[in-house]
Amino acid sequence: MSKIKCAIIGSGNIGTDLMIKIMRLSKSLEMAAMVGIDPNSDGLARAARLGVATTHEGIEGLVALDCYKDIRIVFDATSAGAHKHHNEVLQRDGKQVIDLTPAAIGPFTVPSVNLDANLDEANVNMVTCGGQATIPMVAAVNWVSKVHYGEIVASISSRSAGPGTRANIDEFTETTSHAIVAVGGAERGKAIIILNPAEPPLIMRDTVYCLTDDADQDAIRASVEDMVKTVQSYVPGYRLKQAVQFERFGNNNPLFIPEMGKSFTGLKTTVFLEVEGAAHYLPAYAGNLDIMTSAAMKTAERLVELRNWRAAA
């Protein structure tokens, strides 16, 4: 099978991990270019050693590369602010854009939930690392009983959070909250991210809270476990940290939710997750990188499969 050429904008942690993952694992994608703005970045140096075309002149440098005309897919792993300009240039030139920033110009895509829903769009958004880890759980619960309120807490090692991630904290919470609703199916969503400075670094951990009407706990548990297996098909280090927890709130002990502006009665489902990275670039504790880059690669490969592109001669 001929591979489709792609480029990555952003030579930081996420972009470099994605590059290595594509080169090692993908049967349909070929790395053509790595783009950065720091000529001394490790990502650009690694790309050059691996024989990938590089530029430290940003999107303008990418456009000037000889291989640009043959590139079909461009991953943007920079920042929400930079992505707007990048997308304008890439759309002008007819490139398929997969956005790994929280810019959310294109529709949210979480492969285990709605992989095929947006693949006719010229720009698709991969939400956030926390969103990729937790929204599948919200959706799994919602498929059994309507989620009135979904809240997620994503805890990642501060060592795995590069400058781009740190610059996007506000956008992370807003984008993930919106995606909990748009993709997860909740009526209301809230997202919290924690950068944990602990040494040695801790693995990515996520907690998901879903409030629903009283429902069949066995059905919710089975739906969650099935979803975990689906995510594991492209992120092997994704797993439940412990059994799904349930708590009922009746009229005699309602739970007040400030974000909802009212007291809740019904079933609270709590899911505890752990995401271990494949250590393609950073160590295994950086599961936040692994789930984001794995989801982006899965989406790109599905695009290639559905569109039946032919590689440039």
| Known catalytic residue at 67 | no
What would the DSSP string read from start to end of 172-223?
HHHHHHHHHHHTT--SSEEEEEEEE--SSPPPEEEEEEEEESS--HHHHHHH
d(CA 295, CA 102): 14
Residue with tokens 């990938």: 52
Q: Which residues contact 51 (CB under 8 A, 6 or more apart)?
A: none
Contact present, 17 and 55 (Cβ < 8 Å)? no
Q: Give the active site residue among 6, 67, 129, 210.
A: 129
d(CA 16, CA 24): 12
The amino acid at residue 156 is: I
d(CA 227, CA 302): 19
Sign of the CA dihedral with 90 first, then 102, 305, and 293 last: positive
d(CA 125, CA 58): 20
Closest alpha carbon to 174 in 127, 234, 139, 217: 127
Q: Which two tokens stand for residue 290?
A: 């692994």
Strand partners, 277: none
d(CA 53, CA 56): 11
For the annotated catalytic residues, the residue numbers are 129
